[in-house]
Amino acid sequence: MRSALIVYGGWEGHEPEACAAIYRRWLHEDGFSVRVETDTRAFADPSIHDLALIVPIFTMARIEKAEVENLAKAVEGGVGIAGHHGAGDAFRNAVEYQFMMGGQWVAHPGNFVDYTVDIVMPEDPIVQGIASFPYHSEQYYLHVDPANEVLATTTFRDEQAPWIDRVVMPVAWKRQHGRGRVFYSSLGHAAREFEISQMATILRRGLNWAARE
Residue 153: name the closest of 139, 172, 137, 140 by CA: 172
The number of folded domains in the chain is: 1
DSSP 52: S
State residue 158's pLDDT score: 79
Domain with 182 in it: 2-210
Q: What is the pLDDT of residue 213?
A: 87
Angle at 86 between CA 132 and CA 154, to 5 degrees: 25
Residue-by-residue pLDDT tens, the chain, 213 positions: 999 999 999 999 999 999 999 999 999 999 999 999 999 999 999 999 999 999 999 999 999 999 999 999 999 999 999 999 999 999 999 999 999 999 999 999 999 999 999 999 999 999 999 999 999 999 999 999 999 999 999 999 978 899 999 999 999 999 999 999 999 999 999 999 999 999 999 999 999 999 998
Contact 154, 171 (CB under 8 A): yes
- CB of 58 closer than 8 Å to CB of 42: no
CATH number at residue 62: 3.40.50.880
Q: Are 141 and 163 in contact (CB under 8 A)?
A: no
Distance, CA of 191 to CA of 187 (rounded, Å): 11
The pLDDT value given to residue 160: 80
Alpha-helical (H) ranges within 46-160 are: 65-76, 95-101
The beta strands (E) that lie in 38-144 are given as: 53-57, 80-84, 103-107, 112-119, 133-138, 141-144
Q: Please say whether the beta carbons of 167 and 153 come within 8 A.
A: no
